[in-house]
Amino acid sequence: MTKKVLINEVGLRDGLQIQQKFVPTEGKLELGQALIDAGVRAFEAVSFVSPKAVPQMSTAGEVWAGLPMKDEIYYSALVLNEKGYDRAMDSGAKVVSMALASTNKMNEANIRLDLESASAMFVKLIKRAKDDGVETRGYVSTAMGCPYEGDVPVETVVELTKLMLDAGADKISIADTIGSAHPEQCKRIFATVVEKWGADIFGAHLHDTRALALPNAWAALEEGIREFDSSIGGLGGCPFAPGAKGNVATEDLVFMLEQSGYETGIDVGGLLRAVGVAERLVGLKLGGRITEWWLSQERKKAKAAAEAA
> Domain for residue 1, yes or no?
no
How far apart CA 62 and CA 48 sit, in angstroms, is 11
Surface-to-core class of residue 2, CB atoms within 10 Å of its CB (0-12 exposed, 13-18 middle, 19+ buried): exposed
Question: What value does the mean pLDDT take over residues 80-102?
Answer: 97
pLDDT tens-place string over residues 136-192:
999 999 999 999 999 999 999 999 999 999 999 999 999 999 999 999 999 999 999
CATH number at residue 96: 3.20.20.70
Residue 131 belongs to domain spanning? 6-308
Classified as helix, coil or strand, 115 is helix
**Which phi-psi region, left, alpha or beta, contains residue 73 (left: φ > 0; alpha: ψ -120 to 50)?**
beta
How far apart CA 230 and CA 289 sit, in angstroms, is 14
Is 39's pLDDT higher than 80? yes
Q: How many CB atoms lie within 10 A of CB 72?
A: 8
pLDDT at residue number 239: 63
Surface-to-core class of residue 93, CB atoms within 10 Å of its CB (0-12 exposed, 13-18 middle, 19+ buried): buried
> Domain for residue 73, yes or no?
yes
Question: What value does the mean pLDDT take over residues 243-268?
Answer: 93
Q: What is the DSSP letter of 12?
A: I
How far apart CA 44 and CA 207 sit, in angstroms, is 16
Alpha-carbon separation of residue 254 from 33, 208, 268 (angstroms):
18, 15, 7
Classified as helix, coil or strand, 108 is helix
pLDDT at residue number 266: 98
How far apart CA 47 and CA 97 sit, in angstroms, is 9
Buried b (16+ CB within 10 A) or exposed e, 43-61: bbbbbbbeeeebebbebbb
Question: What value does the mean pLDDT take over residues 90-106?
Answer: 97
pLDDT tens-place string over residues 121-134:
999 999 999 999 99
Is 240's pLDDT higher than 80? no
Q: What is the DSSP letter of 231?
A: B
Q: How many domains does the chain have?
A: 1
Query: Which residues are paired to 141 by β-bridges?
Result: 101
Is 218's pLDDT higher than 80? yes
Nearest CA-CA partner of 278 in 10, 6, 57, 44: 10
What confidence category does residue 244 fall into, taking pLDDT thresholds of 50, 70 and 90?
Answer: low
pLDDT at residue number 242: 60
Question: What value does the mean pLDDT take over residues 288-309?
Answer: 89
pLDDT at residue number 309: 80
Residues with catalytic function: 238
